[in-house]
Structure 1
Amino acid sequence: MPAVRSVSIGLYIKVGSRYEETSEAGVSHFIEHMLFKGCQDWPTSLDIAKEIEGRGGYLNASTSHEFTTYWVKIGARHWQRGLRLLANMVQWPLLRAEEIELERGVILDEIYMYRDVPEDLVSQLSNKAMWGDNPLGREIAGEIETVSALTPQAVRDFHARAYRPDRAVLTIAGAIDVAEVQDIVGDHFGDWQAASDPPTLKPAPDLAAQPRHRIAIRPSEQAHLQLAVPGLSRLHPDRYALSLLNVILGDGMTSRLWQRLRDERGLAYSIGSYINMFIDSGVMGVYGGCDAKRLFETLVETMAVWLDLQQTPVPESELRGFKEYVKGRMELSSEDSSAVAAWWGRQVAT
């Protein structure tokens, strides 16, 4: 990408909540936090932050059900610093006992925070109804009890098992020279060794046919709802068709849900659809927030839109318009080094 002035680096580790035993739920997310607390060449969290932010860059991470991702976006002239830092963080974190105890409190506060946010709470309730006691139905950050019980040694042991070169994908996009990158990547990652047997992914359950529901009564200005149905895995041959269906249903202001529930009926400010695709399963759903007094009406209208899309073919002219929407968004994202790095990371890591 010679026209951009940034470089984005993504490091994808094949580990997340689906690789955890029930007793260690939340350990993947815990380790993600701990890698920012100090490593061999940058021993404190401030040292790590200064290395990137001191040059105007961004450093962040996230944990999902199947991956933990670390990324840096920085000016092109500093990209080697970002790569060296990521390599140091994932291979040689300090994982000090006193830092683990401090961060435990931060993570517990994070769990409580998500439970206080209606959008996050309704999502977790939906996952629990869909997946039950499977790791897909758990909070990625873990439960209060399991996070409280994790020992420093358990954190170190899980890192040693999960963070290994055969489970990692590195992506770099931006103003770079490919030959130079290959040499420098070898310098920083060439000696990375697997320490022990990796954790294994817990398979998704067979989804029951009967409907299930979860309700939480909380003081709130709105009622929040989520409807979910079984979807497709990210390896399914129809995954692209499902992605387009999701756009038609609830992605953007021209989507059917937005037009019907917001523009025509004024039922909801927040309304949309989503898909989550995993390696062996998936889910498609609708989320909305509305006046509690109009909850039933919102549900009825949402189901009407969904059923109409299921039962009536999409007109060719409408389909062409949504295809152009998707292509246009892809073109725009191709100008962003972080979006390009993330796209390649998802392709290769799968």
Structure 2
Amino acid sequence: MNEYFKDNLDNGLRVVSIEMPHLHSAEMACFVNVGGRNEPADLAGISHFLEHIVFRGTREYPSSFQLERAFEAIGGSVNASTDAENTCFHSRLHPGHLGEGAQLFASMLMRPLFSNVDLERKIILEEALEDFNERGEEISPDNLTARLLWPEHPLSQPTIGTRETIARIGSEQLRAHQQRYYTPGNTVIAVAGRIHREAVLQAVQNAFDSWQGGAPPAPRLVSEQPPATPAISWVKDSDSQVNLQLAFRVPGRGDRRCVPLRVLRWVLSWGGTSRLMLRLRENLGLTYNVEANLSLFADCGCFTVDMAVAPENLVRAVEETLVVLEELRQDPVGAEDLAGVIKAYLYDLDFSRDHTDAMTTRYGWGEMAGYLRTIEQDRREVLAVTPQLLLETARELFVPQALKAAIVGPWNTRQRQAVEKALQGFGQ
């Protein structure tokens, strides 16, 4: 049985169908290949702003209330997200209403009214305030490390933009951005659930067949590595905890080490017995939760470790995290430990078959990003991972010159000096 089906419309729109007959619902997702890295510095956040403004009304549904009510009438709950490379509009819907769902998304992507821009700007500015403290200082570790990882590149800009750029964006800029990037050749529509390929294709053809548009400009590629020294962004904040992120710059999703990196992430933080959780939480009580995360873009990526700790635990938490990372660079993961991680990873792959959003992301986003991987392909490659491969990957990528950090909270000078010393000593 095919894991998915792909069809191309004459206008270049790609349609991905994932038949899941054991379910009783469907998910429709529209992936548009535009995000923060496509934006000039003076219009940072425009992709996210456009995602918001589409919900403010379309030619057929002039208000957000009418649009939302139309989705609810077919079992829907429409939402959207924007990241560095992608904007996604998605909704659950009843399998019997694929045609109506496709027409609704076509109205949003092709015929937005660009109304209530100033009102939506106020909402976005409220959302952006979450990343700033009372003194107007950036406190998002993700944004702070991005500036260190990709200096002077669009990837260093916050996806939501800044207060200055959000204030600068108007309906004229939004229309131009929509016309440039919201085109059929730049979009993938994926539908998963109790559906049939033929019905999906017919619904999408009926709704999107008239859509036209050229190829958008390619995003700017990331240049060579930033300065080959550890770098830290320190921000004082009046919180009860210190938020900490360690970030390694790694290659993009086409690199041969992507699968080993995903397994290393699981080795570090897939559950309570993973290395970071076991050492920092269970054995030392330094944090409530610690996570390793992996973000892979077309030409670069980052591997991060995130946690929040009491100020008195900051130095020890950094030191112990570096010890765990150094162990991965020096000693192969034990065969028994690796077998347990791979088993959990394979279970997770199986569990994903029950979730329509996981399937539309795997095959729809994967098609859009040029990184479409079947579950069977993932299974084969994960089973081929060895302790030696993990050791080589850790040694090649968890290196001092690729390490950056962001520390936000009530730290003091003594702690800053101790943390900087620990980071300078990593890998020596």
When normalised by structure 1's length, the TM-score is: 0.95
Equivalent of 1:48 in 42, 67, 79: 67
CA distance in structure 2 between the aligned counterparts of 1:199 and 1:101, rounded to whole angstroms: 28
Pair 1:106 & 2:123 matched:
yes
CA distance in structure 2 between the aligned counterparts of 1:120 and 1:245, rounded to whole angstroms: 28
The one-letter code sitting in structure 2 at the alignment partner of 1:213 is I
CA distance in structure 1 between the aligned counterparts of 2:247 and 2:26, rounded to whole angstroms: 37
Residue 221 of structure 1: how far off its partner (Å): 0.7
SS in 2 for 1:268: coil
Aligned residues: 347
Q: In the alignment, is the contact (CA less than 8 A) between 1:119 and 1:224 conserved in 2?
A: no
Equivalent of 1:202 in 207, 214, 220: 220
Residue 173 of structure 1: how far off its partner (Å): 0.6
Stretches of structure 1 that go unaligned for 5 or more consecutive residues are: none
CA distance in structure 1 between the aligned counterparts of 2:206 and 2:61, rounded to whole angstroms: 18
Deviation string 1:218-273 (CA, Å, 9 cap, x unpaired) is 10010111001111211112211111111101232221000100111110012111
CA distance in structure 1 between the aligned counterparts of 2:318 and 2:258, rounded to whole angstroms: 26
Equivalent of 1:34 in 43, 47, 53: 53
Deviation above 6 Å: which 4+ runs of structure 1?
117-120
Pair 1:270 & 2:280 matched:
no
Q: Which residue of 1 aligns with 2:312?
A: 293
The one-letter code sitting in structure 1 at the alignment partner of 2:306 is Y
CA 1:78 to 1:254, structure 2 compared with 1: closer, same or farther past 3 Å? farther
Deviation string 1:272-323 (CA, Å, 9 cap, x unpaired) is 1111100001111101111101100000111001110121101111111101
Residue 34 of structure 1: how far off its partner (Å): 0.6
SS in 2 for 1:133: coil
Pair 1:158 & 2:166 matched:
no
Matches within 5 A, 1:13-92: 13-92=32-111
Q: In the alignment, is the contact (CA less than 8 A) between 1:231 and 1:275 conserved in 2?
A: no
SS in 2 for 1:132: coil
Q: In the alignment, is the contact (CA less than 8 A) between 1:234 and 1:277 conserved in 2?
A: yes
When normalised by structure 2's length, the TM-score is: 0.78
Q: In the alignment, is the contact (CA less than 8 A) between 2:48 and 2:160 conserved in 1?
A: yes
SS in 2 for 1:220: coil
SS in 1 for 2:235: coil
CA distance in structure 2 between the aligned counterparts of 1:116 and 1:180, rounded to whole angstroms: 50
Pair 1:176 & 2:198 matched:
no
Q: Which residue of 2 aligns with 1:284?
A: 303
CA 1:334 to 1:121, structure 2 compared with 1: closer, same or farther past 3 Å? same
Residue 171 of structure 1: how far off its partner (Å): 0.5
SS in 1 for 2:234: coil
The one-letter code sitting in structure 2 at the alignment partner of 1:101 is D
Q: In the alignment, is the contact (CA less than 8 A) between 1:9 and 1:82 conserved in 2?
A: yes
Report % sequence identity. Answer: 29
Deviation string 1:171-207 (CA, Å, 9 cap, x unpaired) is 111111211221221111111100x662430212322
Q: Which residue of 1 aligns with 2:3?
A: none
Comparing 176-185 and 285-294, the one that deviates more: 176-185
Equivalent of 1:331 in 346, 350, 356: 350
CA 1:7 to 1:120, structure 2 compared with 1: closer, same or farther past 3 Å? farther
Q: Which residue of 2 aligns with 1:147?
A: 166
Residue 81 of structure 1: how far off its partner (Å): 2.2
CA distance in structure 1 between the aligned counterparts of 2:97 and 2:215, rounded to whole angstroms: 35
Deviation string 1:90-119 (CA, Å, 9 cap, x unpaired) is 0111112xx111111111111112335999
Equivalent of 1:115 in 132, 153, 176: 132
